[in-house]
């Protein structure tokens, strides 16, 4: 029987006891892979630690960690990010749609959008060189031999000996990605960017991410127990949030779409609205369909390659919640068209049958974003188990608000919409209070909440909170409460989405 050799498991060992911070690896990588100015596949981070006269500068080479369980591959909707049999996480720019889901998913902030071709890119161990029997460019150029690449499954290889016989560390092991990049002799302040962050006036500050002038911070426990050590962090490459205001807006329009059908249906099932009501038969499906179309347009607008959106359906990677969400939105849209058709037929029986399909699809449309956000493993604020029900409550709130305004314009507000709006607004406030509590499961969550409540997005958060409180009085103030609900949820969603991406990962 032939002994078929197993494929190698390529890994990298970065010896930070040797690294001198010369940036030769960054330059060689950019030259070898034609990486444009302004973005890098690999860069060197320096951290000045200690207090005078016992101060020193520590370096860390930062790049893709070549995970055994890569979140970027799971989140990529078209398979543009994929893991080779030899362990290298590679990418195919020909099928990248530029959704930035891989960037949001990466716990190491190692992926970027190439400004020239608008596709996702990162370190891939110079796979084209390894396939030819050559070493990666960074390994060849390093003047102090601080970078080693080899086969971890080969016990005689240099990297296997380093990993097995000397103390090594990986970045963010709690994310359980099983990285293939190991650090030897790395300082904790370089491996964990939160190790050099502290609250300043209630706001966590860190270099390259916080406001100007917040580059000098003290090292200590991220929950506020500072040590006597000081650190000055210099990030060579500032990274911004992968998803901008358009993703915040898409969650709002999608919430209105789901709630515009769910809200009147809830009232019908509760006996407070008739099946023949114009709000349920016409206004609900029409508003839901219009906002769903708006949601689709925003999603396509946010893509770096909008003309490739068809690949979501032509070559889907089914673990991605972008793909699953696309299917849910499409099915929900078809069900809403059927609901309008049933209304036109005048058959209550047909409306009831269609409602049986629309109900679960609307609920899924409202809540699937929670699972999409959960695939962003590095964003701890988004890992809440209560996010899906919270999104559903928000959808009912804005759906009831939108239909209340539509009903007012056509002369029929509908029984119970204001009450439903008030109840869901109160539920939303209760759930927000739980999110903003002072104790959180991780330091990342704590810092993200600090940014949302006291930091860059505090204005959106508090305006959203105040307007949502106004919406609680909708039964007495009518349209004012409905408008307050719509604007308040829009502001809250923006604060939540952006604060979740505000914590530094590299």
Domain with residue 107: its CATH number is: 3.30.70.20
Instruction: Name which of 370, 371, 321, 241 is nearest 74 in CA terms.
Output: 321
Q: Is 331 exposed, middle or buried (CB count within 10 Å of its CB: 0-12, 13-18, 19+)?
A: middle
pLDDT of residue 234: 58
Sorting pLDDT into bands at 50, 70 and 90, what band is 114?
A: very high
Residue ending a domain, among 234, 259, 290, is: 234
pLDDT of residue 239: 63
pLDDT of residue 336: 98
In a domain, 1, yes or no: no
Sorting pLDDT into bands at 50, 70 and 90, what band is 146?
A: very high
Sorting pLDDT into bands at 50, 70 and 90, what band is 189?
A: confident
Higher pLDDT, 208 or 284: 284
The dihedral of CA 63, 128, 159, 19: what is its sign? negative
In a domain, 240, yes or no: no
The answer on 170 and 277 residing in a single domain is no
pLDDT beyond 70 at 196: no
pLDDT of residue 418: 94
- Residue 415 contacts residue 273 (beta carbons within 8 Å): yes
Instruction: Name which of 248, 243, 240, 204 is nearest 222 in CA terms.
Output: 204
Report the C-alpha gap between 270 and 340 in whole angstroms.
22
pLDDT beyond 50 at 210: no
Higher pLDDT, 420 or 52: 420
In a domain, 239, yes or no: no
Runs of H (alpha helix) within 37-113: 71-75, 101-105
**Structure confidence by residue, pLDDT tens digits, 357-400:** 999 999 999 999 999 999 999 899 999 999 999 999 999 999 99
Report the C-alpha gap between 76 and 415 in whole angstroms.
44
Find the helix or strand (DSSP H, E) in which 69 lies. none
Find the helix or strand (DSSP H, E) in which 433 lies. helix 417-435
- Residue 421 belongs to a domain with what CATH number? 1.20.1630.10
Question: In this prediction, what percent of the chain has a pLDDT beyond 70?
Answer: 89
Find the helix or strand (DSSP H, E) in which 366 lies. helix 348-374
In a domain, 298, yes or no: yes
Give exposure, 450-468, as e/b (b: 16+ Cβ within 10 Å).
bbbbbbbbbebbbbbbebb
For residue 90, give both structure tokens.
């590679």
- Residue 146 contacts residue 19 (beta carbons within 8 Å): yes
Check: pTM over 0.85? Answer yes or no: yes
What mean pLDDT comes out for the span 165-176?
Answer: 90
DSSP string, 289-306: HHHHHHHHHHHHHH-SSG
**Structure confidence by residue, pLDDT tens digits, 423-480:** 999 999 999 998 887 677 888 898 899 999 999 999 999 999 999 999 999 999 999 9
Show the domain range for 152.
10-234
* C-alpha dist (Å) from residue 342 to 166, 281, 336, 346: 70, 8, 10, 7
What average pLDDT is seen over the chain? 88
Q: Give the sheet arrangement for strand 168-169, strand by strand.
A: 147-151, 10-15, 181-184, 168-169
The answer on 230 and 270 residing in a single domain is no
- Residue 74 contacts residue 320 (beta carbons within 8 Å): yes
Report the C-alpha gap between 481 and 460 in whole angstroms.
18
**Structure confidence by residue, pLDDT tens digits, 318-357:** 999 999 999 999 999 999 999 999 999 989 999 999 999 9
What mean pLDDT comes out for the span 75-88?
Answer: 95
Q: 65: which residues sit within 8 A by CB, 6+ positions away?
A: 108, 110, 170, 171, 177, 179, 180, 181
Total tally of structural domains belonging to the chain: 2
Report the C-alpha gap between 126 and 142 in whole angstroms.
15
Residue ending a domain, among 234, 259, 293, is: 234
Rg (CA), the chain: 26
| Listed range (101-105, 139-143, 314-318, 415-419) with the worst mean pLDDT | 415-419
3-state secondary structure of 28: helix
What mean pLDDT comes out for the span 221-234?
Answer: 43
The answer on 319 and 222 residing in a single domain is no
Instruction: Name which of 337, 330, 251, 260 is nearest 298 in CA terms.
Output: 251
What mean pLDDT comes out for the span 145-165?
Answer: 91
In a domain, 505, yes or no: no
The answer on 254 and 113 residing in a single domain is no
The answer on 219 and 129 residing in a single domain is yes
The dihedral of CA 46, 149, 141, 103: what is its sign? negative
In a domain, 98, yes or no: yes
**Structure confidence by residue, pLDDT tens digits, 251-267:** 999 999 999 999 999 99
pLDDT of residue 7: 78
Find the helix or strand (DSSP H, E) in which 20 lies. none
Report the C-alpha gap between 297 and 301 in whole angstroms.
6
Question: In this prediction, what percent of the chain has a pLDDT beyond 90?
Answer: 72
pLDDT of residue 243: 95
pLDDT of residue 106: 95
Residue ending a domain, among 177, 211, 234, is: 234
- Residue 136 contacts residue 149 (beta carbons within 8 Å): yes
pLDDT of residue 220: 35
């Amino acid at each position: 029987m032939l002994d078929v050799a197993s494929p190698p498991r390529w890994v990298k060992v970065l010896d930070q006891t040797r690294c001198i911070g010369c940036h030769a690896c960054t330059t060689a990588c950019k030259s070898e892979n034609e990486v444009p100015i302004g973005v890098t596949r690999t860069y060197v981070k320096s951290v000045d630690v200690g207090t005078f006269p016992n101060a020193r500068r520590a370096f860390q080479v930062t790049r893709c960690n070549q995970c055994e369980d890569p979140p970027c591959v799971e989140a990529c909707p078209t398979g543009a990010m994929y893991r080779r049999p030899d362990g290298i996480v590679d990418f195919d720019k020909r099928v990248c749609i530029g959704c930035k889901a891989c960037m949001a998913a990466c716990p190491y902030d190692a992926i970027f959008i190439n400004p020239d071709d608008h596709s996702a890119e990162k370190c891939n161990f110079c796979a084209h060189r390894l396939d030819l029997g050559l070493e990666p460019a960074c390994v060849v150029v390093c003047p102090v031999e601080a970078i080693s690449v080899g086969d971890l499954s080969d016990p005689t290889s240099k990297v296997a000996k380093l990993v097995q016989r000397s103390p090594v560390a990986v970045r963010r092991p709690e994310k359980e990605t099983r990285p293939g990049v190991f650090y030897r002799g790395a300082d904790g302040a370089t491996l964990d960017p939160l190790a050099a962050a502290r609250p300043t006036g209630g706001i966590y500050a860190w270099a390259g991410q916080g406001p100007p002038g917040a580059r000098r911070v003290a090292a200590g426990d991220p929950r506020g127990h500072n040590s006597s050590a000081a650190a000055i962090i210099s990030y060579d490459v500032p990274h911004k949030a992968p998803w901008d205001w358009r993703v915040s807006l898409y969650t709002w329009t999608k919430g209105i779409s789901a709630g515009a059908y769910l809200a009147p249906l809830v009232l019908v099932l509760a006996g407070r609205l008739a099946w023949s009501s114009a709000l349920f038969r016409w206004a609900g499906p029409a508003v839901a369909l219009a906002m769903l179309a708006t949601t689709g347009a925003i999603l396509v607008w946010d893509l770096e390659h909008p003309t490739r959106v068809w690949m979501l359906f032509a070559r889907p990677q089914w673990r991605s919640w972008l793909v699953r969400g696309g299917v849910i939105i499409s099915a929900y849209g078809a069900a809403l068209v059927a609901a309008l058709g049933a209304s036109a037929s005048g058959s209550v029986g047909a409306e009831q049958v269609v409602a049986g399909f629309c109900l679960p699809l609307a609920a899924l449309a409202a809540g699937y974003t929670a699972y999409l956000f959960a695939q962003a493993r590095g964003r701890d604020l988004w890992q809440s188990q209560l996010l899906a029900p919270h999104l559903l409550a928000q959808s009912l709130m804005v759906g009831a608000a939108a239909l209340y305004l539509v009903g007012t314009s056509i002369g029929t507000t509908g029984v119970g919409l204001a009450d439903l709006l008030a109840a869901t607004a109160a539920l939303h406030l209760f759930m927000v209070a739980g999110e903003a509590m002072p104790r959180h499961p991780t330091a990342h969550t704590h810092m993200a909440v600090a940014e949302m409540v006291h930091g860059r997005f505090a204005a959106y958060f508090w305006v959203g909170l105040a307007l949502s409180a106004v919406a609680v009085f909708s039964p007495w103030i009518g349209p004012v409460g409905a408008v307050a609900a719509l604007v308040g949820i829009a502001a809250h969603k923006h604060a939540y989405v952006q604060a979740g991406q505000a914590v530094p990962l590299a």
